[in-house]
Amino acid sequence: MSATANAPALPPAGNIARYDHLFIGGDWVAPEDGGVMESIDPSQGTPWAMVAYGGKRDIDKAVAAARAALDGPWGRMPGHERAALMRRFADLYKEHARTLAILETRDSGRALRESLLDVGGHCNGYHWWASLADKHSGRTIPFDDSVHVFTTRVPVGVVGAITPWNVPLMAAAWKLGPALAAGCTVVLKPAEHTPVTSLELGKLFELAGFPPGVVNIVPGYGRDGAGEYLVAHPGVDKIAFTGEGATAKAILRTGAETMKRFTFELGGKSPHIIFADADVEQALNAATNSAWTLCGQSCALGSRVLVQRPVYDRVVEEFVRRAARVRVGQPMDERNHMGPQAHAEQLAKTLSYIDIGTQEGAELVAGGNRLSGAGLDGGYFIQPTVFAGVTNAMRIAREEIFGPVAALIPFDHEDEAVAIANDTSYGLTAGLWTGDVGRAHRVSSRIRAGMVWVNTYRFIRWSTPYGGFKASGWGRENGIEALDSYLDTRTTVVSTTGRFPDAYAV
């Protein structure tokens, strides 16, 4: 592929798009021992793109390129120059955001109106990270006048970034931003279901003028594929992973051999608590949106809606009424609120949980079915779904479904709400709605979750640390905390005398 011809361009409608190359060492190269895989358009259930994927030798090459860049031009580049490159990239990202959003929708099925909003904001994140690229300084440590002690913050090294299929560009941004600001180099391995937009990033890094090998992009499979090879590779210093808990455990086992650093952003089963003293209308706006956004395929969604008994019936009725208002349809049509599930296995998983909920005795009050007809045949479309009368013991309240399924759980008292909220193996996010400021502080401080929203929901920005307690993960993405996880601390001790006693003189 040639350089500047590579800015994101939409593949012609109706044709299968081709992404025949991996982005390694600044070049577009054919896979050595990988191959080509289909990327399925979830709105049709048919392939829309053929995409190169990497094997073991391709990962070896990508890691070698990342190491060479780290030991070479990128590692020697002053922070302000890295920042300038990152800003150039951010500007290009902004320029191409609409195309990237369209491609993200083609690949993942996310409604275009959501993709445009999400992807349109990523450039601000990259700018924010750029502003930190020359500001990670160490400190001096007073001891006595025989030594001068100081610390420096150094990049952890080569980062393997492994991302999921629900938000490929966002997950990549959350890793690339802090990694590049810290001075690391990266091998990005997007999910096999949604590899396209990550490859598009390679074109923008090339256009921005990044030195070869700073960012390498190798789509591929997870287990027994590029993902596992990356984790096992001795040349990789850190794995930044977003995905399922079971995958994280497999990664830990594989990576233990080479003592890598890890950050894990994993699942959630977030409680969204509505107290009777809340502005219930606003709470409903947030709770319905956070049940069905991204077709339910987001770790942060409030999939357990805890509602205080005096307003429970009203909330159930409104959920049902609003579920009927959600326009589910072709994701490229900007009028539609919700597209399909991202792949066939996810659709099957969501439908199986709807069966489980019914069998467990929860009351299915809205949705529950796959959608067909009206141009939806073949796609993985599903109705926004609501279960009432859910108890926290039910599997639909305990396990991550990752579909547009809200579980409405009644409660009577504040202590009970906190107990239910915390009775989960997860601890990613939580929301609560109340008109009582004391209760807002009391309850938010008792919830075991990495992010708690009060009278709002899903406010997530590049500057706000994001990550989980308990089984929801290790470490933070976004915020200064994320930068820390891409830096190591070197302590240097300089003797002011140069004298060292001979311990064996006598």
Interacting residues with ligand NAD (CB under 6 A)? 162-167, 171, 189, 191-192, 221-223, 227-228, 231, 242-244, 247, 250-251, 265-268, 299, 400, 402, 428, 473
- Closest CB to ligand NAD among residues 342, 420: 342
8 Å CB contact between 268 and 466: no
CA nearest neighbour of 62 among 133, 161, 192: 161
Q: Inter-axis angle of helices 112-130 and 168-182, to 10 degrees?
A: 0
Using the minimum distance from each CB to ligand NAD, give the nearer residue, 8 or 227. 227
Q: At 483, list the tokens.
A: 């930068």
Nearest to 170 by CA among 462, 480, 485: 462
Rounded to whole angstroms, the Cα distance separating 8 from 106 reads 14
* Nearer to ligand NAD (CB atom), residue 275 or residue 466: 466
In the bound complex, what is the minimum distance in angstroms from residue 210's beta carbon to ligand NAD?
23
Q: Please, what is the minimum distance in Å from the beta carbon of residue 80 to ligand NAD?
A: 30
Which of 200, 206, 228, 265 is labelled catalytic? 265
Smallest separation, CB 484 to ligand NAD (Å): 17
Q: Smallest distance from the beta carbon of 190 to ligand NAD, in angstroms?
A: 6
Residue number, 44 or 247, with CB nearest to ligand NAD:
247
Minimum CB distance to ligand NAD smaller for 410 or for 475: 475
Dig out the tokens for 300 from the structure: 């942060």
Cα(33)–Cα(31) distance, rounded to whole angstroms?
6
- Return d(Cα 281, Cα 198) in angstroms, integer: 39
User: Do residues 319 and 406 touch, judged by C-beta distance below 8 A?
Assistant: yes
Q: Which is nearer to ligand NAD, 247 or 330 (CB)?
A: 247
CB of 104 to ligand NAD, least distance (A): 14
Our answer to whether residue 265 is catalytic in this structure is yes
The nearer residue to ligand NAD, 183 or 202, going by C-beta atoms, is 202
302 is written with which tokens? 């409030």
- List, as one string, the DSSP characters of 367-389: --SB--STT-TTS--B--EEEES
Which strands make up the sheet holding 215-217, listed edge to edge? 27-29, 22-24, 215-217, 185-189, 158-162, 238-242, 261-265, 473-474
Give the integer Cα–Cα distance in Å for 338 and 419: 33
Provide the pairing of β-strand 215-217 with 185-189.
Answer: parallel
> Distance between alpha carbon 321 and the CA centroid of its chain, in Å?
31
Residue type, 298: S
Q: Least separation, in Å, of the C-beta of 342 and ligand NAD?
A: 9
**Percent helix, strand and coil across the chain, each to the nearest 5:** 40, 20, 40
Output the smallest distance, CB 474 to ligand NAD, in A.
11
Residues noted as catalytic: 265
